[in-house]
């Protein structure tokens, strides 16, 4: 699905096979506010509080 033309129905013929995480990523990668928050997280002092806020806001979990 990465790089798919979201306007093309044929680009999403596999969507019925997609898992929840695939659909969530497709949503986030198009969300401007998510990208803004991610850039802020990357550019900031990587505090655990800041990372926790980011995870809670966007409903994310990260592997250890």
63 pLDDT more than 70: no
**Distance from C-alpha of 18 to C-alpha of 1, rounded to nearest angstrom:** 9
Largest CA distance in the chain: 43
Distance of CA 1 to the CA centre of its chain: 13
State residue 1's pLDDT score.
47
Reported as a pLDDT band with limits 50, 70 and 90, residue 64 is low
pLDDT digits (tens, 9 = 90+) for 14-61: 777 888 888 888 889 899 999 999 999 899 777 888 889 999 999 887
State residue 3's pLDDT score.
60
Whole-structure pTM value: 0.64
**Distance from C-alpha of 13 to C-alpha of 35, rounded to nearest angstrom:** 26
**Distance from C-alpha of 41 to C-alpha of 51, rounded to nearest angstrom:** 7
**Distance from C-alpha of 39 to C-alpha of 16, rounded to nearest angstrom:** 31
Domain boundaries, the chain: 18-58
């Amino acid at each position: 699905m990465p790089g798919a033309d979201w306007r093309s129905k044929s680009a999403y013929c596999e969507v019925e096979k997609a898992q929840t995480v695939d659909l969530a990523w497709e949503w986030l990668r198009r969300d401007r506010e998510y990208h803004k928050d991610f850039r802020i997280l990357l550019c900031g002092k990587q505090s655990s509080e800041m990372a926790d806020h980011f995870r809670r806001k966007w409903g994310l979990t990260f592997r250890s």
